[in-house]
Amino acid sequence: MADSRSALDQLFDEAPSGTSGGSGSGGGSGRRGEGRGGDGRRGEPRKRRGLRNTVIVLVSLIALLGIAAGVAYLLIANTYNEVKRVSIEQDPSLERPAETVVDDGAKAPINILLLGSDSREATDRNASVEDLTGFRSDAIMVAQISPDRQHATIMSIMRDNWVPIQGVGEAKINAAFSYGGLPLAVNTVENYIGARIDHVAVIDFESFKGLTDAVGGVTVNNTVPFTAQNGGGGFTFEGGEITLDGEHALSFVRERYAFSDGDYQRARNQQAYMKGLLQKTISSETMSDPSRMVSMFQSLKPYLILDEGLDLNRFVNLGLESRKLRSDDIAFFTSPTLGTGTSADGQSIVIPDEAGMEAIRTAFHDGTIHELAPTLAAG
């Protein structure tokens, strides 16, 4: 726990700042002689008193920040450790992509599978791992953190992509969870992207309400104006830059019936929301406010499932390694497809662009997807 505490303190201490450390040092540089006599001695006691008072104030602030960080750590640790965990260990008989090999001392890329559900059943805290086999993911994203931890690239995968599922045959990619639980879902995505998955987070869309409100709203660039339908609250979303509260955020990421291309636009909206949320999360406003971070964790906890390997130490150390990430270092795109079609058994499906996926698979495996992402369309 001490390692986690040290890492978390560094996260707070090294949060992005909106001011330069030297900006206040030069303001009085031209006023040194004021208030002094000819020999300058009258000003010394006042200067010493001022310096002493400044030191007292700084020490007090540091003490308060230390207490705040300590309290925040305890609250975050308790909250984080209460999150439901599941194993992603796969059946040894399943074929998997080769592991990414790196030189001694070098870091490997980290691939995180994000599964979004529009059903509370998926994150029922009383559910067993077996209960989760009935789950179908409504949103599938793979995030890669680059080996230098200075880039994050997030690829959306259309949930109706028609792909091979081991032991099943061809089926929609989001059905893998239903057929074999989280391990088979991970295996199916691994083979689709050509690289191994290190960690998994299953998130209920309901969490977006509390999470959005906890960070004070999320700003998105809405490319397609629309009015939500079929239980979406009837909210109208104007085009351009808009700020969402919790209720509007949930409607924004859920809606697909209002769009002519359905799930495609929903995936773009989910990307826009994730981008806005990440921008808000890594901002100095949030990273320097332990209470806000605690509130975020508490809002997310009831709706989150993580793999067993993503424990508190791993989570905090990953955050520490990636602390220099800025919003400009985060890229989104959608895996290429050839449009929609119909399967042999009559299902409406999305047809993957296998030729387009070749370069993506190589980049995911090598940890260079951030270099390829700028050449890929967001939708």
Q: In this predicted model, which residue has the larger pLDDT, 62 or 217?
A: 217
| Band of residue 91 on the pLDDT scale cut at 50, 70, 90 | very high
What is the mean pLDDT of the segment spanning 204-218? 90
Round the average pLDDT of the chain to a whole number and report it: 81
Lowest mean per-residue pLDDT among 40-44, 200-204, 265-269, 353-357: 40-44
Question: Does pLDDT of 142 surpass 70?
Answer: yes
| Band of residue 3 on the pLDDT scale cut at 50, 70, 90 | low
| Domains located in the chain, CATH noted | 81-95+105-375 (3.40.630.190)
What is the mean pLDDT of the segment spanning 158-171? 96
Contact 157, 173 (CB under 8 A): yes
Q: With pLDDT > 70 as the criterion, what percentage of the chain qualifies?
A: 74
Q: What is the rounded distance in angstroms from the CA atom of residue 115 to the CA atom of residue 200?
A: 8
pLDDT of residue 119: 58
Q: Which residues, other chains included, contact 80 with Cβ-Cβ below 8 Å and sequence gap of 6+?
A: 297, 301, 312, 315
Contact 365, 352 (CB under 8 A): no
Question: Does pLDDT of 35 surpass 60?
Answer: no
pLDDT of residue 218: 95
Buried b (16+ CB within 10 A) or exposed e, 298-309: bbbbbbbbbbee
Question: Does pLDDT of 324 surpass 60?
Answer: yes
DSSP state, 107? P
Contact 308, 351 (CB under 8 A): no
What is the mean pLDDT of the segment spanning 242-254? 95
| Band of residue 69 on the pLDDT scale cut at 50, 70, 90 | low
| Band of residue 71 on the pLDDT scale cut at 50, 70, 90 | low
Question: Does pLDDT of 31 surpass 70?
Answer: no
Predicted TM-score (pTM) of the model is: 0.77
Alpha-carbon 1 to chain mean position? 23
What is the mean pLDDT of the segment spanning 322-328? 83
pLDDT of residue 264: 92
